[in-house]
Structure 1
């Protein structure tokens, strides 16, 4: 039987390709298996593949008639918004009946948008204040990061498309810290998110102290070099240790890195580093078009998970209560304004258009994860990805029967392709408690959980 790998050396899972200011983590290769020589019929064991988790937040709730399936089980009909995910129907579950008690007013009056995102990953009820005395809870991603983060280069990544704020008033007397952050290290410390894909790329593939990284970046810009050009020698040496399939996998991965890097550089203007180059300042690297911005950030998330640079990611498409317009969708009114549709047919049509746009971006992310082979499956198969909002109907501002999807099979722990209906007001934190236990962060309770979610497997 033909052998796929012929060298006896086992690669370390933490192997990096290094060059000037560069450290490129590698995807999971067959050569990282304890059994280095594999036959064509063999595959690396899934037991050694870690479970990744990610949490993606969309603002202002959903147009629920276009979201919630009318049938339970595996034969449900996809509503209009979820039809954007039709190609991945077998890879996710729609979870109905989950609730976020911490986002309810509980006597505090207005501020549902701020509470919805502050409670989304914590399950806590944030203290109503716009001062420095903010009080919330620890978020599920940070609990996981504390437990399993030492196994990766980054304990967690906090990303988004709009800047975080740590002060100011954003929603009916609630601090902007609540509205713009969903990851909380402790009750008084929100974790600010990174919105610049170029900076995320530099974090993933840069190496050394800040000065060295800046110098290396300037050198790459001067000679129009890629991060890969500086690690090419080590990459070629590594290929000599790999079998045919691993070489192909490495080539595909490096091609993906270079492709994304080109797209990021394409958002920048050129520096005047040599004669004849236009003297334009280099901007932050954030694309003006939301779709390009979102897709680059989702690509960064894929690379971070693929290289096991982190196993925990949170991502906010926009901040809570966002009122941005979507002229690219021919929707010029603000999102928040439209969510208060008052049963206006025109406004409901436009809010549904925005919902479908976010679903399309999520479909893009799932497709990227499915393109990465791991073991006898894909990167998505070894992940648990939560997508949804802390508000159900944006007009009602209710926090029960939330729009929640759970994508991925968590290494075989989840049976996907179903619409699962839970008893009304089942805590969303019951799902988070299950995820913590499966990811290697055993906990007896989390947030307002009253048990561990069932019916996933």
Structure 2
């Protein structure tokens, strides 16, 4: 176990009325008997995986140049401020997302294969089967080091049964995290419930009761840990006092946004898009709040592993905020129509802008001698390449972060087509400190992540 884990993650907590608020890394609270005066224990590494549906408009996604100094295409323009923290990877393939004799159902397969690399069994019954996903392979090896083994998030609710795509169970379309070959992990779509989970004391009955009491009193979680916070602040150095103030201010701002979202009137939406109760009516705000939850989980070392589905596979929600009334899935069958392709690019760019929000927030969050993005790996992409062709080669994949100094970003990495995406996962697991012999259809490690 690392010095960071023993000294930080399980000890520095503010408590009060059903709340257990873990704190970010603070030098003042680190015992360093074996380290030099200016040394800090190495922060842990974190991994996040983000899924978007229906492929992308590759013409507006793929950089023309490889290596350093590439120009960002229009879809990736929102990432300009974090381009040096980014690897654009072209050429990766998910062969098991192909029919391979199973007929139609490409959207369901694209989600179930995204982190597993395993061919899903074509069924809409209880006998579903896929494979253990990369996030859960890491959680099985290292999840005991944090209060939450992993965090599964999403922005569209999904069903665990029924036929959602040409004979494939809805469980395939709405899940990317699989704890076993027959067990998809359910995702939480309500950011307020995620927030409560991050800051609960782990005792569900007490947590629920005290949550109701806090809401009745109209008080913030911070109001119930204020005494602990004041005592702690008196023992901190000046830099850590500022860090504590910034952290608590950030938590209160997220609470304010969550309360505002809960009080929003029901949105008027396309009938194809079921909106979960209690979530923001603004889709972008919904995604950003989920990004905030990931940052809070990583910042406080409550978890080191997270997944998030910006939308379910085959999602046909419309994007009224972009003046696009058409359903996303319907548009993805563009047949080369320039107007439809332009709208797809706008939707793709909108999703990337939410990723940029996450990465910039991670980069602005101190972590050891660097920032949270320095010590993380964030994999973003789709299980389909082009939504019209439903193809699974040359997938749109981004890998952000420096992986604790084990990744050299700022490049466009073009690799041979048909290279399994699971080879990337093998390399990520190595860097996370949880190596395994194989995952899905991996054939080895992906070279070129560091140079």
Taking the aligned partners of 2:47 and 2:345, their CA distance within structure 1 comes to 27
* Residue number in structure 2 paired with 1:142: 136
Q: Answer whether contact 2:76 2:352 (CA < 8 A) is retained.
A: yes
* Residue number in structure 1 paired with 2:16: 19
- Of 117, 132, 136, the residue aligned with 2:126 is 132
Q: Secondary structure at the match of 2:197?
A: helix
Taking the aligned partners of 2:388 and 2:31, their CA distance within structure 1 comes to 55
* Residue number in structure 2 paired with 1:322: 315
Q: Answer whether contact 2:8 2:25 (CA < 8 A) is retained.
A: no
TM-superposed CA distance for 1:269, in Å, is 3.8
TM-superposed CA distance for 1:83, in Å, is 0.9
Higher mean C-alpha displacement, 218-227 vs 380-389: 218-227
Matched, 1:414 2:410: no
* Residue number in structure 1 paired with 2:432: 439
Q: Answer whether contact 1:388 1:403 (CA < 8 A) is retained.
A: yes
* Residue number in structure 2 paired with 1:268: 262
TM-superposed CA distance for 1:223, in Å, is 2.1
**Correspondences of 1:295-374 after superposition (within 5 Å):** 295-374=288-367
Q: Secondary structure at the match of 1:416?
A: coil
TM-superposed CA distance for 1:294, in Å, is 0.7
Runs of 4+ more than 6 Å apart: 36-39
Q: Deviations over 1:229-268 (max 9, x none)?
A: 1001111111122111111111111111111011101122
Higher mean C-alpha displacement, 215-224 vs 410-419: 215-224
TM-superposed CA distance for 1:33, in Å, is 3.2
Q: Answer whether contact 1:17 1:231 (CA < 8 A) is retained.
A: yes
TM-superposed CA distance for 1:164, in Å, is 2.7
Q: Answer whether contact 1:16 1:26 (CA < 8 A) is retained.
A: yes
**Correspondences of 1:73-84 after superposition (within 5 Å):** 73-84=67-78
Q: Answer whether contact 1:165 1:192 (CA < 8 A) is retained.
A: no
- C-alpha change, 1:185 and 1:317, in structure 2 (3 Å) is same
Taking the aligned partners of 1:333 and 1:100, their CA distance within structure 2 comes to 28
Aligned residues: 433
Q: Answer whether contact 1:264 1:285 (CA < 8 A) is retained.
A: no
Q: Answer whether contact 1:43 1:376 (CA < 8 A) is retained.
A: no
Which blocks of at least 5 consecutive residues in structure 2 are unaligned? Answer: 1-5, 265-275
- C-alpha change, 1:12 and 1:418, in structure 2 (3 Å) is closer
Q: Secondary structure at the match of 1:228?
A: helix
Taking the aligned partners of 1:303 and 1:106, their CA distance within structure 2 comes to 41
Taking the aligned partners of 1:121 and 1:11, their CA distance within structure 2 comes to 32
Q: Deviations over 1:169-189 (max 9, x none)?
A: 111111111001011111111
Instruction: Indicate the RMSD between aligned Cα atoms, in angstroms.
Output: 1.7
* Residue number in structure 1 paired with 2:38: 42
TM-superposed CA distance for 1:214, in Å, is 2.1
Structure number, greater radius of gyration: 1
- Of 95, 103, 112, the residue aligned with 1:118 is 112
Taking the aligned partners of 1:435 and 1:182, their CA distance within structure 2 comes to 17
TM-superposed CA distance for 1:215, in Å, is 2.1
Taking the aligned partners of 2:91 and 2:45, their CA distance within structure 1 comes to 26
- Of 47, 51, 54, the residue aligned with 2:45 is 51
Taking the aligned partners of 2:29 and 2:390, their CA distance within structure 1 comes to 49
Taking the aligned partners of 2:202 and 2:244, their CA distance within structure 1 comes to 24
Taking the aligned partners of 1:370 and 1:76, their CA distance within structure 2 comes to 21
TM-score (norm 1): 0.92
Matched, 1:291 2:276: no
Which blocks of at least 5 consecutive residues in structure 1 are unaligned? Answer: 1-9, 271-282
Q: Answer whether contact 2:51 2:308 (CA < 8 A) is retained.
A: yes
